[in-house]
């Protein structure tokens, strides 16, 4: 059954609100932690999506080419308001952040020699890493009761981190296995 948007529910957000939320997330989040902020906003704070729905969107956005957070914004927008929601969510995620990056790049080129700037950047990187870790822990908790899913997750981690196998090779092998296993277990 294809994924259907929830655009007809009474608490569906307006297109403007989706644009604004994604703009705020894009302008106030750092690095890989963006999906963590999205989960807090759409699942925990507003309850527009369930945790399982959101994590399914995260998995799909990571499996598709392109930027994961933009893919996720498109998925969330589509889920909440259909095609128009996908468009305005992606726009909110990309355009304001692009404009800010252009301004900050110019500013950074003039202040990079100041001694505290590298320390500030290291602090921002640490915060982004922590947010990414939070998202990873939430996703791992979803897999924990499933021994085969846990084994697949551990094998992918080991292949990439421990054995440093090329990411494309790991995806080509692990993605079909994971999809096959998920399909097999969902049929039961």
For residues 159 and 126, membership in a common domain is answered with no
Q: Are 130 and 152 within one domain?
A: no
> Based on the domain organization, do 31 and 62 belong to the same domain?
yes
pLDDT score recorded for residue 43 = 93
Q: 120 and 169: one domain?
A: no
Three-state DSSP string of the chain? CCCCCCCCCCCCCCHHHHHHHHHHHHHHCCHHHHHHHHHHHHHHHCCCCCHHHHHHHHHHHHHCCCCHHHHHHHHHHHHHHHHHHHHHHHHHHHHHHHHHHHHHHHHHHHHCCCCHHHHHHHHHHHHHHHHHHHHHHHHHHHHCCCHHHHHHHHHHHHHHHHCCCCHHHHHHHHHHHHHHHHHHHHHC
Count of domains forming the chain: 2
Are 156 and 130 found together in one domain? Answer: no
Residues 128, 157, single domain; the answer is: no
Q: How confident is the model at residue 1, as a pLDDT?
A: 42
Q: 10-residue block means of pLDDT along the chain (188 residues)?
A: 56 92 87 80 93 89 86 96 96 91 84 80 80 76 75 87 90 84 72
In this structure, the answer to whether residues 50 and 104 fall within a common structural domain is yes
Range of the domain at 165: 145-188
**Same domain assignment for residues 11 and 91:** yes
Same domain, 73 and 109: yes
Q: pTM for the complete prediction?
A: 0.62
- Do both 76 and 149 map to the same domain? no
């Amino acid at each position: 059954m294809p994924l259907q948007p929830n655009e007809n529910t009474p608490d569906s957000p307006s297109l403007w609100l989706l644009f604004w939320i994604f703009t705020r997330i894009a302008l106030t989040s750092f690095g890989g932690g963006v999906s963590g902020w999205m989960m807090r906003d759409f699942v925990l704070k507003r309850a527009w999506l369930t945790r399982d729905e959101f994590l399914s969107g995260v998995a799909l956005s990571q499996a598709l080419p392109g930027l994961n957070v933009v893919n996720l914004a498109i998925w969330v927008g589509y889920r909440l308001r259909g095609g128009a929601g996908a468009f305005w969510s992606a726009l909110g995620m990309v355009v304001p952040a692009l404009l800010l990056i252009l301004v900050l790049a110019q500013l950074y080129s003039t202040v990079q020699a100041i001694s505290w700037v590298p320390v500030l950047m290291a602090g921002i990187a640490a915060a982004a890493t922590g947010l990414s870790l939070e998202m990873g822990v939430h996703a791992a908790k979803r897999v924990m009761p499933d021994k085969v899913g846990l084994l697949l997750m551990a094998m992918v981690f080991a292949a990439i981190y421990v054995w440093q196998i090329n990411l494309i090779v790991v995806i080509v092998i692990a993605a079909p296995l994971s999809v096959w296993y998920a399909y097999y277990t969902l049929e039961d």
